[in-house]
A and B are shown apart, each in its own frame.
Chain A
C-alpha cells in the first residue's frame, strides 16, 4: 500500500485497506502473480477442451476404424495419416480423438475424487473440531489408522477390493485416501477458531451452537482446505495412472482417460513410446497447472504475506 500525498489521497489509501477481507486481498495479489496466471491459463484451456471434446474429436474414440493397419505379429500400428494426424492406437482407434475425449474423463476423475474426499473430510473434520470430546478422539483414531499406510498404498488396497473395477472404483479409491488429510486440516483450524475471540463473543451473545459452527467457525477454517483441494486435483490424476498401471484401473477403455491410456500401454512402451508420451505429457502439464494454482493460492491466503 502506498500512501498518497494529499490528505484526500491518504484517506482513500487508508480506506482501501480498511475492511478488506483476507479473501479480497488474496485475490488482489493472485491477479498480479504471473505464476498463478500461468497455472490458471493451463487449467482454463484444459477445462474448456474437456467440455468441448465430444464435438472437437474428429472420430468416435471407441471405433476401431484403422484395425486393418494393425499387424499384431509385427507389432505394427497405424502411422499418422491424412484424417488421423496422430495415427491409431493398438486397437486401430483414432489416437487424436482418444486424447481429446480422454481429457474429459481425466477432469471427471480429478474433480470427482477431490469432491468426495473433500466432503468426507469436511464431515469428519467438522464433527471432530466442533464437538470435541469423545467424538474427536474416535474420529482422530480412525484418521490415524488410515494415515498409517502411505496414501498411494492405501489407494491400491482399496482399489483391489473391487471384484469388477470401474471408473467409479478408481475415483472412490483415490478419494477415500484424501479424507483423513482434509479431516485433519479442518479439525486443526477449527480448534484454533474455537479458542478465538470472535467465537467467544458470539457465544457470549447467546448465538446458537449450530450457527456458531456453520456461520462463524467453518467459513474461517476453509482456507487451507481450498488450497489442499487444488493440490489433490493434481495428485488424483497422477494416482489414477498408477492404478491403471497396476491393473487396478477401469478395464473398459471405450471412453478413454489419460491415466488409463498411460497405464495400459506399458507392454509396448519400448516399441511405441508415443502412445505413452502423449498422455503422460498431458498429465504432467495439467498436474503442473493445478499445483501452480495451489501453491500461489497457499501463499496468497497466508496472513503473514498480507500487505
Chain B
C-alpha cells in the first residue's frame, strides 16, 4: 500500500511537470506574449526589445522554463495583470482557494446526499413511474449548460427563497478572516451572523454546481444497485431471513459502492470546470471566478498557476479514490 502510494505520487510529480512545461511553452508561444500584455499593442520596438531582454525572454525556452521552475519552487509565479492587477498570482490563489473548496464541497454533499438514496430507490422500483421519471430527469440534468441553469436559479429563485443573488465581493465577508473558509470563519470567531450570511450566499451556486455530479452519481448508483440486486448472495441473504435494512446496508449498498466512489472522484473534474462557470455567474470570489476572468482578460501568470493547481487537485483526488478501493473492497490488493 505504501509503496503503491509512493509510486503514484512520483507519477503525479512527473505528469504535473510535463503539464507545466506544456502550459509554459503555450504561454510563451502566444502572439506577443507577456511583453504585449505588459506594454500594450502600441509599444515601440525599442522598448519591447528592452523589456524582452530584461525579462530574459530572449533566452532559449528550456532555459526560461528552468528559471521559471526555480522561481515557482519558492512560490513565485509572477504578478497578475488582469484578474487583480498588481497582486501576485500565488496571493490570488491562496486568497480564493478556500472559497472554492467550500463551494465544491457543498455541491458534492448535495449531489451525494440526493444521488445515492434516489439511485437506490429507483433501482428498487425498476420500471416504475418514479424510476422512469428520475432517469429522464438525470439525463436532462447532464444536458443543461451549467451557466444557463445558474442564471435561471439566480434570476428566478433568489427572490422566491429570500436568498442573495450575487456573491460577496472579495474580503467583504463580515467576519474576521481566519482560515479563508467563509462559513467556518464565522463559526470560529463566533460571528454567527456572518456564517449564516455566508451559507445563504453558498446555497444557489452550490445547487447549480451540484446538478451534473448529482445526475451522474444517481445513474451510476442505480446501475450498480441493479447489478448487485441480481446477485446470488442477495437472494441467499433474503432466504436466510436477514432483515431488509441489513441486506440493504451490508450486502447491496456496500457492494454497489465501488463504481459510485470512482464516479465521485471523477466528478471533481466536473466540479472544477463547473466552478469556473458557476462562480462567474454568481460573482463568487473563488478560484473559478479568477480562472474565468483570467481567460477573458488573458492573465497568463494567474492562468498558469491556477491550471497547474487544478491539475494537482484533480490527480490527487483520483489517487485518494484509488486508495479508498482497498478500504471498501478487501478483495482488492494494491500492488
Contact = CB atoms under 8 A, between A and B. Distances in A.
Interface of A: 141, 144-145, 148-153, 156-157, 160-161, 163, 234, 238, 241-242, 245-248, 259, 262-263, 266, 269-270, 273, 276, 280, 283-284, 287-288, 291-292, 295
B303 A160 contact: yes
B241 interface: no
A16 to B, nearest CB: 27
Contact of A273 (B147, B155, B276, B291): B155
Contacts of B155: 269-270, 273
Contacts, number: 111
Interface string B266-278: 0011101110110
30 contacts: A144-B11, A145-B15, A145-B19, A148-B311, A150-B269, A150-B270, A150-B310, A152-B276, A153-B269, A157-B307, A161-B29, A163-B31, A234-B143, A241-B145, A242-B147, A245-B280, A246-B295, A246-B296, A247-B295, A259-B145, A263-B147, A266-B147, A273-B155, A276-B151, A280-B144, A280-B145, A283-B145, A284-B145, A287-B142, A291-B143
Contacts of B144: 280, 284
A148 B315 contact: yes
Given A149-B19, A153-B307, 10 more contacts: A144-B15, A149-B314, A152-B269, A161-B26, A161-B30, A242-B145, A242-B146, A245-B145, A269-B155, A284-B144
Contacts of A238: 143, 145
B139 A160 contact: no
Contact of B140 (A148, A245, A284): A284
Interface residues of B, number: 43
Contacts of B23: 157
Nearest to B304: A157
A246 B292 contact: yes
Contacts of B276: 152-153, 156, 246
A152 B145 contact: no
Contact of A291 (B142, B148, B307): B142
A287 B30 CA distance: 34
Given A157-B307, A273-B155, A245 B272 contact: no
